[in-house]
A and B are shown apart, each in its own frame.
Chain A
Amino acid sequence: MRRWRRSEGWAAEQRGRLVLVLTIVILVVTPGALAAQTTGTIAGRVTDAASDLPLATAQVAIEGLGRSTTTDDDGRFVLGGVPTGSYSLRIELLSYRPLTLEGVEVRAGRRTSLEAPLNAAAIEMEPIVVKAERIPLIEPEVSESHHVTLGRQLRELPTDNTEAAIELTPGVTDGHFRGGRIGQETYVVDGFGVKNQLEGSSQGFGLEFSPYALEEIDVTTGGFGVEYGAALSGVVNLRSRRGDPERWHGRLNVLGDHWAPDDYSRGFSELAASAGGPLPFLGPGTTLFADILFQGLLDADPRSQGLTCLDPADAEPELAAAIDSLRADPTTANLYCPFESDMFPNQEGDKFIGFLRLDFPVGQSSNFMASLLRNRLQRQLYTQDFKYNPTYQLGQRLTGTLGTLAFDWAKDTQGRAYHVTARAAALRLDRYLGVVDPEALAGRSTIAGFGISDFEFLGEEFARLPIAEQRNAGNAVPGYSEPGGSTGSPFGPAAEGIFFTEGTPGIANWSRYDLIGADLVGELLAAAGHSFKAGLSGRYHTVESYERAFAYAPDSIVNFNSYNPITLNGFAEARIATSQLFAATVGVRLEAFRSGLSIPIDTTNSAAPTIDSDWKTVFTPRVGFAGAFRNSAGQTAFHFNYSRVAQPPDFRYFADTTIGDSLRTDVRRQGNPNLGFEEGRAYELGVSHVWRDAIGLSLTAFRKELNKLVTGSLSVSGSAAGQFTTGDRGTIKGVELTAYGRWPGIEFRVGYTLQEATGLTSGALDEDVDPDASVLEFPLAFDRRHSLDVIVLAGRSAAYTGTGWGGSLVVSARSGFPLDRHDDLITRLPWTYALAIRVTRDLGGFPFCDGCRTRAVLDGRNITGRDNVIALRRDTGGLGPPPEDVAAVVDDIPSDMQPIPRESSRYNPLTDLDRNELITADEMRRVRYAAELDRNDPSLFFGAARQLRLGLEVTF
């Protein structure tokens, strides 16, 4: 916290100038307790500027909102439940010159602390008007580790979505929060926890905001509070924008890379528009904010080109030799990178995000907020076996709708404020994965890659029928057909069984996750800094999941489950502030859930005993301390926290599913509706320091012990073998070093994390594990040791208006994950590096629109074009398959194979290497070798390709 009045020199200087400057907006937050709401708190102290003595009974009023309070004997005041926005605060006391603080930013869930020294005045004088600003670089009263990315930064950084912005948080890489598994974090949207409880560990959040619709993203990776504590590794608070109550603002921008050279383009286009402002006809203070974002992607993914397109320099020697051999031989040269230019697999997709938020003050002390978020993300999916299929491709459509209601009531008295929040929300996530209907796809209208209509899938209507009706019908999913084909790939008949150029993929899956829930939270705030908060919340979930792997086969197995889990929790948290610079927080959380699913203990045997689910409960206390060191003038701070953490497992593990987990990759296991909580403990100790309000540095050490993680390991107990259990364990420890800097026209943040994530084997029957070892420790698959993220914003991107230029860059450097936990040498993937840059240039006004401004945007991703290897084959440690596997595939062609003549339907000129109109066994074998390399394409092994976008933005 910036302690202006602690500096005598500074105070004297201000007094000498007779200018009252104060203040400050500070991110002072009780750990987690206030971390996610639609309102904030203003607190502060009014003093005599000359004597620094507190002034009691001073009136503090929020102009335009009708809210006011008076200071207590210590000169302190608190205003709770203030709707987010920018306000002017007027402070008056008889015999003192009034003071108006302009630009007091009230941010959701934050406590804005002010100090207001008043100057004595014998006669009535015009008030002094002071602009308040500054966000602190360190937070002496905060006992958690959290990092905020402001909405402005979100819009100025070269990032596409909330997920990418979260990745910039120190300690978060590839969806892993401080070395935890994906899905060990929870998401809070404007105060309402909406974790994708069904498939969070594989699908992530499932909802997405446009960067233009967010006020900020606040990512907490350690010491998160009890209110939103149903997570093991992190809490992501997404705070949406609210319309400006004073006037309308808006933005329209187009962005695309169609103009760029092939190597820099993915056929990307974006149209985004947002507007927000007052709706006076609905009452004073009523605001509306609306945002839409359309993105289209032609998805000319240059990575999907097969191993033979690989630069031999990137490949292991044996593979490089094979590629060179193909390229050097004139007869096989056509097999080297066989589809260049425009012969890419055609996998288009688009994204739509719409958001609407209405804020409606009810009287002077209450605020009502309603919002609606709608997502539709759909795209064709790249699948190696079908990449040459001209008609049928897999696709996925994700739709999500979140509606939230929040009501805040506040009451302010001298030295105290009361705040009650009631929230309710409904969420629906619907995911369909299947074969895209090619006719519907071809017939739909698109604009620059964005399609207005939903993807249609073959047989979706059938797959959505009641399951009994489907089983009775015993049909294949309509439209599906058995995959096959021989000549539609560059390898002709040699690729039979490798590439399917006819027929359809077999997958038809869908899941639907509905949630309705409500929260009730009460809070007591004291001007001295103490607070107490308690609340209850409940969620009723509806889960439906449908899986059919061979949908083209009549009577193929259909796996369907429908059930209704319930989650409940209550919490209480107290914050005690012994001074402005020290606070202790103690909280407890009681959480319970019930899966609501009953299935046989052996799902392959309907006569097996049924597993019934019962209520699971967990009690998780948390404690945190934070403060500034003595004599540091608030410039050096420390914090410590301890938490027991727990979260319900992903609901999908209640039923049979495949766990794509880092410990047990892609293992299909039997569901267990009686799974308990995933649990752990976390400790954290950190120090921080700030120099000249320009550079801040923090160092945090953490340790996390995760004791009960969902595992696909074999259960050792009886007939439940192969069932999901919570038997995995792991420990993550590490340090985070974060540096912040800011000067006029430039801001930066550097985050470095060093960590170690190890697991203890829980699979006693695992054949790869020494059964005699009582404890076997191994690196977790997400054991990324080093990660470094650098963010720099400059010029207008850093809110500096002295130039027409703006710029930002993001640099990331990360060490690789371990390749295989059973590898004695623990081979790791190589480091990855990426550089993204965004440059803007103000272009002036806009025709026929006074007050409009335009600017150009140039946005480059991975502009160095680095081939970042993000995965390798576990069996070879390289990009290529094992030579013996390739040889086995080649041996599918017998050496005495009947040659294929030109007139055969299986004939393909590309396979006829000597062009004698007859494909011999030798030719088939040589071409099949190339085909097998082509199937093992490296598309999954590399990070994002480079991209260069150009955009135009109009604001008003």
Chain B
Amino acid sequence: MSARCSPGFIGLAVLLVGACRDAPEPFVPPEREPLGGPAWQLTYNLGDDRAPAWTADGQNVIYTAVVDTQPGLLLSIPYRGGTAVRALGAVQADTSAVRRFTTPAASPSGEALAFVHFIRLFDTSLCGTGALSICDVPSHPRLPYPRLGTAWLRVRRFADSGSVDDDPRYEIDFAGRFFDETADTLGLPGVYVIDHFPFHQVYLAEDRQVFRPSWSPDSRHIAFSDGLQVLIWDVESGELTPVPGTEDGVAPAWSPDGQWIAFTRLERLGTASSFCRLIINGILTCAERSTVYTMGRRLLTLVRPDGSELREIGEGDEPAWAADGTRLYYVSLDRIWSQDLEGGIPMLVSGTSGGREPAASPDGRLLAFAQRGDDGTYSIWIVSLEP
């Protein structure tokens, strides 16, 4: 029989050759949708998320999270949302170690992160609970005891993997609380001397991160506050230089051009001192001499790093520089405002109700801040600065 090529044969051959399925793909979990819009909530942790700071490339926000058993985790999250990872993997690799890290600040060079590591926070009570206080000035205001004790200002290079003990650090001993052993009162071995400085008051009452570090543009110096003044720390040499004229200056922010340091001055209106004896179960337990500094306004202040050209520009707190250095963002009346340094009236940054700790992105388009929610905890939000 002569060969022929039937239509059926051709059709079948085409079907067999042409129909070829691809191998099925494995299951791929859905990605988190990127966040966007004029404002968006970046973190949803039920604990506090605070102190946002941008990475130098402007792609991530590093912040402090209070998570379950961890009182201070430094996390980094893409600004459009995603998975938050530990900002300093090697330092925080041991998840069982409880550390209190806060106020991260990425160096403009992108190589290092400065942050404050609390190593001592005082209890609120000196003599125990239930103490009956008998004061020589009965009307003396009774304020909560200062908590800030000792912290390390640390600098960690992102690329480092060695021990954190090898990193540069500066120990901040916060003033305002000491035990005067030389004072012998009523047979007690000494007297607690308590100074309720304004920075203690805003820390206790509002949890303001008064000591907030801020990098100089050349990434060599860090401005921070010990609560009583602004200081500049040379990271390489370790040299510490107080900035003259910055008394009661907190929350410093170094301008992008390096020419200015903005900070909040906690205005003192007066003082009141008192001596109190504290009695528990009829027994004189301890004595304290306390001074309360009545706090006034919070004044946004600019100063040259050498202390010159000090000038106040109005009321506000927690200043943050715009990327171009022409304006300041700051907190006032439970909102975030912007002030053009060339003049003009303050402008409210919309969508920032309950916001604090503003941080402008390096490209100037976005502002990260911590916002208090209905339950009283803070989350990180991003708001667009573009019109």
Q: Are B9 and A854 interface neighbours, CB within 8 A?
A: yes
Q: Are B9 and A904 interface neighbours, CB within 8 A?
A: no
Q: Which of A265, A391, A449, A846 contacts B5 (CB 8 A)?
A: A846
Q: Are B23 and A267 interface neighbours, CB within 8 A?
A: yes
Interface centre among B13, B45, B77 (most CB of A within 10 A): B45
Q: Which of A342, A849, A899, A907 contacts B32 (CB 8 A)?
A: A907
Asked if A530 is at the interface of the complex by the 8 Å CB criterion, the answer is: no
Bound-state Cα–Cα, A348 to B22, Å = 11
The secondary-structure label for the interface of chain B is: loop
Interfacial chain B residues near A918, Cβ < 8 Å = 44, 46
From B81-89, B220-228, B336-344, give the one contacting chain A: B81-89
Known interface pairs A918-B44, A950-B15; A845-B2 also in contact (CB < 8 Å)? yes
Q: Are B12 and A856 interface neighbours, CB within 8 A?
A: yes
Known interface pairs A254-B16, A950-B15; A844-B23 also in contact (CB < 8 Å)? no
Chain B residues 23-81 with CB under 8 Å of chain A are: 23-30, 32-33, 41-46, 67-68, 75, 77, 81
Q: Which of B27, B43, B81, B83 contacts A390 (CB 8 A)?
A: B27
Q: Are B83 and A898 interface neighbours, CB within 8 A?
A: no
Q: Mark A910-921, 1 if CB is under 8 A from B, else 0.
A: 100000111000
Chain B residues 1-21 with CB under 8 Å of chain A are: 1-6, 8-9, 12-13, 15-16, 18-21
Known interface pairs A492-B29, A903-B83; A898-B19 also in contact (CB < 8 Å)? no
Q: Are B41 and A903 interface neighbours, CB within 8 A?
A: no
Interfacial chain B residues near A909, Cβ < 8 Å = 30, 32-33
Asked if A388 is at the interface of the complex by the 8 Å CB criterion, the answer is: yes
Interfacial chain B residues near A917, Cβ < 8 Å = 41, 44
Chain A nearest CB, measured from B385 CB (Å): 22
| CB-based nearest B residue for A845 | B3
| CB-based nearest A residue for B77 | A903
Asked if A841 is at the interface of the complex by the 8 Å CB criterion, the answer is: yes
Asked if A952 is at the interface of the complex by the 8 Å CB criterion, the answer is: yes
Interfacial chain A residues near B26, Cβ < 8 Å = 343, 345-346, 388-391
| CB-based nearest B residue for A902 | B44
Q: Are A345 and B27 interface neighbours, CB within 8 A?
A: yes
Bound-state Cα–Cα, A917 to B258, Å = 40
| CB-based nearest B residue for A905 | B83
Bound-state Cα–Cα, A916 to B41, Å = 11
Bound-state Cα–Cα, A254 to B12, Å = 10
Chain B nearest CB, measured from A303 CB (Å): 14
Bound-state Cα–Cα, A34 to B43, Å = 81
Q: Are A903 and B21 interface neighbours, CB within 8 A?
A: no
Bound-state Cα–Cα, A907 to B77, Å = 14
Interface centre among A449, A492, A952 (most CB of B within 10 A): A952
Q: Are A901 and B2 interface neighbours, CB within 8 A?
A: no
Chain A nearest CB, measured from B296 CB (Å): 39
Q: Which of A448, A843, A902, A951 contacts B20 (CB 8 A)?
A: A448
Interface residues contributed by chain B, number (CB under 8 Å)? 42
Asked if A67 is at the interface of the complex by the 8 Å CB criterion, the answer is: no
Known interface pairs A901-B43, A903-B43; A298-B75 also in contact (CB < 8 Å)? no
Number of A-B contacts (CB under 8 A): 142
Q: Mark A260-273, 1 if CB is under 8 A from B, else 0.
A: 00000101010000
Bound-state Cα–Cα, A388 to B30, Å = 13
Q: Which of A259, A901, A907, A951 contacts B19 (CB 8 A)?
A: A259
| CB-based nearest B residue for A387 | B27
Chain A nearest CB, measured from B75 CB (Å): 7
Known interface pairs A388-B26, A488-B27, A908-B29; A850-B2 also in contact (CB < 8 Å)? yes
Known interface pairs A298-B21, A845-B1, A952-B16; A903-B6 also in contact (CB < 8 Å)? no
Bound-state Cα–Cα, A841 to B4, Å = 16
Interfacial chain B residues near A907, Cβ < 8 Å = 32, 83
Interfacial chain B residues near A905, Cβ < 8 Å = 83-85
Q: Are B4 and A904 interface neighbours, CB within 8 A?
A: no
Bound-state Cα–Cα, A256 to B33, Å = 40
Bound-state Cα–Cα, A348 to B25, Å = 11
Interfacial chain A residues near B67, Cβ < 8 Å = 898
Q: Which of B3, B43, B75 contacts A852 (CB 8 A)?
A: B3
Q: Mark A186-229, 1 if CB is under 8 A from B, else 0.
A: 00000000000000000000000000000000000000000000
Asked if A41 is at the interface of the complex by the 8 Å CB criterion, the answer is: no
Asked if A624 is at the interface of the complex by the 8 Å CB criterion, the answer is: no
Interfacial chain A residues near B1, Cβ < 8 Å = 845, 850-851
Chain A residues 375-394 with CB under 8 Å of chain B are: 387-391
Interfacial chain A residues near B2, Cβ < 8 Å = 845, 850
Q: Are B8 and A487 interface neighbours, CB within 8 A?
A: no
Interfacial chain B residues near A844, Cβ < 8 Å = 4, 6, 9
Interfacial chain A residues near B82, Cβ < 8 Å = 903
Q: Are B9 and A489 interface neighbours, CB within 8 A?
A: no
Q: Are B77 and A298 interface neighbours, CB within 8 A?
A: no
Known interface pairs A903-B45, A950-B16; A298-B23 also in contact (CB < 8 Å)? yes
Interfacial chain A residues near B6, Cβ < 8 Å = 843-845, 854
Asked if A339 is at the interface of the complex by the 8 Å CB criterion, the answer is: yes
Bound-state Cα–Cα, A492 to B83, Å = 14
Asked if A805 is at the interface of the complex by the 8 Å CB criterion, the answer is: no
Chain B nearest CB, measured from A856 CB (Å): 5
Bound-state Cα–Cα, A254 to B20, Å = 13
| CB-based nearest A residue for B21 | A258
| CB-based nearest B residue for A841 | B8
Bound-state Cα–Cα, A57 to B26, Å = 76
Chain B nearest CB, measured from A806 CB (Å): 15
Q: Are B21 and A267 interface neighbours, CB within 8 A?
A: yes
Q: Are B12 and A952 interface neighbours, CB within 8 A?
A: yes
Asked if A344 is at the interface of the complex by the 8 Å CB criterion, the answer is: yes
Q: Are B25 and A899 interface neighbours, CB within 8 A?
A: no
29 contacts between A and B (CB under 8 A): A258-B19, A300-B21, A343-B27, A343-B28, A344-B24, A344-B25, A345-B26, A390-B26, A391-B26, A489-B27, A501-B29, A844-B4, A846-B5, A847-B3, A847-B5, A850-B3, A856-B12, A901-B44, A902-B43, A902-B81, A903-B43, A903-B45, A903-B77, A904-B83, A907-B83, A908-B29, A917-B41, A918-B46, A950-B12
Q: Which residues of A are in contact with B by a Cβ distance under 8 Å?
A: 254, 256, 258-259, 265, 267, 269, 298, 300, 339, 342-346, 348, 387-391, 448-449, 487-490, 492, 501, 841, 843-852, 854, 856, 898-899, 901-905, 907-910, 916-918, 950-952
Q: Which residues of B are in contact with A by a Cβ distance under 8 Å?
A: 1-6, 8-9, 12-13, 15-16, 18-30, 32-33, 41-46, 67-68, 75, 77, 81-85
Task: Taking A300-B24, A903-B43, A910-B30 as given, write out 19 further A-B residue pairs in contact, using a Cβ cutoff of 8 Å, ordered by the A residue number.
Answer: A258-B21, A267-B21, A298-B22, A298-B24, A300-B21, A343-B28, A344-B25, A390-B27, A449-B23, A843-B12, A845-B6, A849-B3, A902-B44, A903-B77, A904-B45, A908-B29, A917-B41, A950-B12, A950-B16
